[in-house]
A and B are shown apart, each in its own frame.
Chain A
């Protein structure tokens, strides 16, 4: 079982427990407790979204660094090599995330736009944005797993 599968199972277990309690509150007319569990589920969605996105983020950093290293070591023409030489070889080196992403998938393409949207949302959640959009976790998890598989150097 990979890290996505583990997180997915754990996320759904928690969400089902909370939603079962939320439903119980509706049955009993406990509206304050219902709101409390609704909020708990929202926060759980956000937390797991950021957690799972961070796995994809790592993958993109690793794969883009691998591609840069590979280009630097295999290109012999100095003209072609020069553009790669200015890029950092390490995954944790300073290079904007979207620039790394553009090395692995076409800028403006579906996957690029999808990861960019997730990245924007991740930044909003991680940096204390005052708003948040609800997340369709089952469909987002399917996409995160697919992106983790296809974004390669």
Chain B
């Protein structure tokens, strides 16, 4: 596997990561679309510049952060933490006032994402990321 790593492989992984995040954000926005007092914004970003990118001379990338507002007050932030993660194929933290929801892709590289969410109250068992979990998160915030 290590022998297969080169600059184009790294770029492909980044493209895939951005695509997975985009699909996740679409899922979140879709789940909240009929909520009158909820607004989703992607005006901030975080920088992706991980060790392998530096090693293979790949430029850093801006990765959008998704902020959720309820009655004009920010209640949750989807913050991408990293792509090359020990124990998962990418990690995003959903930061809230009650702590962080740790979201990780547990699927193998190149496979359809299998997002698992570890909530602030239960970090022992991962739940599937779906519309009902997003609504639950927003209602609790």
Q: Which residues of A contact B (CB under 8 A)?
A: 8, 12, 15-17, 19-20, 22-24, 26-27, 41, 49, 117-118, 121, 131-140, 142-143
A134 pairs with B91, CB closer than 8 A: yes
Chain B residue nearest to A144 in the complex (CB): B87
Q: Which residues of B contact A (CB under 8 A)?
A: 50-51, 67, 73-74, 77, 81-82, 84-88, 91, 93, 95-100, 102, 104, 106, 116, 118, 120, 123-124, 126
A118 pairs with B86, CB closer than 8 A: yes
Q: Give the secondary structure class of B's interface.
A: strand
A139 pairs with B126, CB closer than 8 A: yes
A135 pairs with B85, CB closer than 8 A: yes
B85 in complex: contacting residue of A17, A134, A143, CB < 8 Å: A134
Number of A-B contacts defined by CB within 8 Å: 83
Chain B residue nearest to A132 in the complex (CB): B51
Chain A residues whose C-beta falls within 8 Å of the C-beta of B98 in the assembled complex: 16, 20
Q: Give the secondary structure class of A's interface.
A: helix
Chain B residue nearest to A22 in the complex (CB): B95
Chain B residue nearest to A42 in the complex (CB): B81
B91 pairs with A136, CB closer than 8 A: yes
B102 pairs with A23, CB closer than 8 A: no
Q: Which of B51, B86, B91, B126 has the most CB of A within 10 A?
A: B86
B100 pairs with A15, CB closer than 8 A: yes
Given A15-B99, A20-B98, A23-B77: A138 touches B86 (CB 8 Å cut-off): no
A26 pairs with B77, CB closer than 8 A: yes
A12 pairs with B86, CB closer than 8 A: no
B124 pairs with A138, CB closer than 8 A: yes
A139 pairs with B104, CB closer than 8 A: yes
Chain B residues whose C-beta falls within 8 Å of the C-beta of A26 in the assembled complex: 67, 74, 77, 95
Given A134-B85, A136-B87, A139-B87: A16 touches B99 (CB 8 Å cut-off): yes
